Amino acid sequence: MMSKLIKSFFSLLFLISFTASVSATDYNLRMTMNSNDQDEDYDGAVVFKNYVEAASNGKISVELFVGTQLCSKGAECLQGVSDGSIDVYISTSGGAAGVFPYVQVLDLPYLMADDRIAEDVMQGDFVRTMRQMALKDSGDTIRLMTIGNTGGWRNFANTKRRVAEPSDMKGLKIRTVVADLPQELVRALGASPTPIPWPELFTSFQTGVVEGSKNGITDIMNMKFPDAGLKYVTLDGHAYMGALWWMNNAKYQSMPKELKKVITDGFYALQQATFASPKRKSIKAYEDFVAGGGDLYVPTPAQKASFKKAASPVYDWFKSNVKGGGQIFDALTSAVADAEKKASSAYDKDL
């Protein structure tokens, strides 16, 4: 009899505890990324989940969906954010360009010199400008929360020769996505843009369909491209690999102010994690590339300036041909100028 009473007591205690935990969760966020659990995006998502759930005292729960469970392509995923079937989604600039073409400003070459400048820019009014543009264009349904990083910086890599000057690019068949901007950049440097789906790139290197690409070192090594003949990487750092984190605006606005702050702070923590993760992961990637016989070249300041000069026609093309291009270009270059001024002042004090 006593045993049955004890069992009943603990069953009741469990039920009360379970009911309390369910009722304590006022908001559930479905967060998805079309990547894997080895990616910087996932690192950021885990930081976000743990921060938000703890800081909200369990009032917000976060479900992580890694891969293509909820959606598989940028436009489809952003539509899910818009209609509320997905609460949070991370895209590259290329993945969101079909819906918000001006996000390709992040792909414009040689505008940001290094991590210090880029990370300052991604934490300021440039992001707020892009947020307002996206809210307007989506009918106030899709909110840009933050811009982190996914893989460091894009660099030119190829199977044929060391690229030290723009003239070394001449005639190389460089893989690009279908979007116009990266193709314009490759043409400006004298190479031939060749749109190839990402899953086909390894075989395309092997067969010579393409001879080069624009990738970060972690992507190059994770995909084992050196095994397909990729031997030369030029650390020109022509584009910051921005990761845009989108949220359903209605879900965000439905929360009381204190929980909006938790969400906002959670995205700040996520951003910091994605800033750090590529730096750590790239160390071994570079070591493995060189150990495998890869040629790693760092352009001199003069050589990098020549790359920027050769690529500069792309800026005018962007402002003239991309909806909202002029506005977002001005926002970015203004933010870069402010970040450079701030960094220069800090160097004067620190050096």
Please report the DSSP string for 247-314 in residue order. Answer: EEHHHHHTS-HHHHHHHHHHHHHHHHHHHHHHHHHHHHHHHHHHHTT-EEE---HHHHHHHHHHHTHH
Q: How many residues does the chain have?
A: 351
Q: Is 91 exposed, middle or buried (0-12, 13-18, 19+ CB in 10 A)?
A: buried
Side chain identity at residue 6, one-letter code: I
pLDDT for position 179? 80
Alpha carbon 24 to chain centroid distance? 33
For helices 313-321 and 180-188, angle between their N-to-C axes, nearest 10 degrees: 160
DSSP state of 109: T
Q: Are strands 142-158 and 212-215 parallel, antiparallel or unpaired?
A: antiparallel
Are 201 and 221 spatial neighbours (Cβ–Cβ below 8 Å)? no
- What's residue 23's pLDDT? 45
Instruction: Give the pLDDT confidence score for residue 12 in this predicted structure.
Output: 42
How far is residue 314's CA from residue 106's CA, in Å, rounded to a whole number?
13
Asked whether the beta carbons of 241 and 134 are under 8 A apart, the reply is: no
**Predicted pLDDT of residue 178:** 80
Each residue's pLDDT expressed in tens, for the chain with a length of 351 residues? 444 444 444 444 443 343 344 446 899 999 999 988 888 899 999 999 999 999 999 999 999 999 999 998 899 999 999 999 999 999 999 889 999 999 999 999 999 999 999 999 999 999 999 999 999 999 999 999 999 999 999 999 999 999 999 999 999 999 998 888 989 999 999 999 999 888 899 999 999 999 999 999 999 999 999 999 999 999 999 999 999 999 999 999 999 999 999 999 999 999 999 999 999 999 999 999 999 999 999 999 999 999 999 999 999 999 999 999 999 999 999 999 999 999 999 999 999
Q: How far apart are CA 24 and CA 123, in angstroms?
A: 32
pLDDT computed for residue 9 by the predictor = 42
Name the DSSP letter for residue 196. -
Q: What pLDDT is attached to residue 20?
A: 41
Tokens 């979007």 sit on residue: 179
Q: What is the pLDDT of residues 49-70, one digit of tens each?
A: 999 999 999 999 999 999 999 9
Q: DSSP state, 38?
A: T
The predicted pLDDT at position 129 comes to 98
The pLDDT score that the predictor gives to residue 130 is 98
Q: What is the DSSP letter of 179?
A: S
Q: What is the DSSP string of 75-127?
A: HHHHHHHHHTS-SEEEE-HHHHTTT-GGGGGGGSTTS--SHHHHHHHTTSHHH
| Digit-coded pLDDT (tens) for 194-227 | 998 888 999 999 999 999 999 999 999 999 999 9
- What pTM was computed for the model? 0.89
Residue 236 structure tokens: 């020109």
SS3 57: coil
Q: Domains in the chain and their CATH numbers? A: 26-318+326-350 (3.40.190.170)
